[in-house]
Amino acid sequence: MSLPPNKQRSRRLRKKMRVGEFQELGFEYELKVKQALAAEQEEVLMDRFVRELLVPRNLAAAGWVRDGFVTAYGRGCATEDDRQATQAWLAAQPEVAEATVSALKDAWYVEG
C-alpha cells in the first residue's frame, strides 16, 4: 500500500495513518545459511533471535529464517542502533553464512 497523496491532515488522522510525526520505521533482514537447516534447527535459531535480540530491545519481527521485517513492538520505531545490533547478531550466528539488513524504512507504506 502506498501513502495517499500529501494533503493537510489533522493530528488525529496523522496518528491513525501513522504519517508525519507518527511515522513508524523498521528494517528488513535477509539471511543465507551455510547449509540447509531442518525445521527444528530453524525453530531453534528463531527462538534465539527472539529471546536474545528482539525481546531485550522491545522489537517485533515478521518473517522467518531467510527473511523478515523488524520494527518496534507496539507503537514506535526501530532505531539505527537496533538495525546495527541485528546485523551483528545475525552475522555472529554459526548457521549464518551471510546476513543483510536494510536501511530504516517506513513500516506501513511502500515507497515508490
Map out the domains of the chain as residue ranges. Answer: 39-105
pTM of the model: 0.86
- Map grid coordinates 535477509 to a residue: 30
pLDDT at residue 100 in the model: 97
User: What is the CB neighbour count within 10 angstroms for residue 108?
Assistant: 15
Residues in the chain with pLDDT values less than 50: none
Residue 90 burial by Cβ neighbours in a 10 Å radius (0-12, 13-18, 19+): buried
Length, in residues, of the chain:
112
Judge contact between 47 and 39, C-beta under 8 A. no
Judge contact between 104 and 80, C-beta under 8 A. yes
**How many angstroms separate the CA atoms of 62 and 102, rounded?**
15
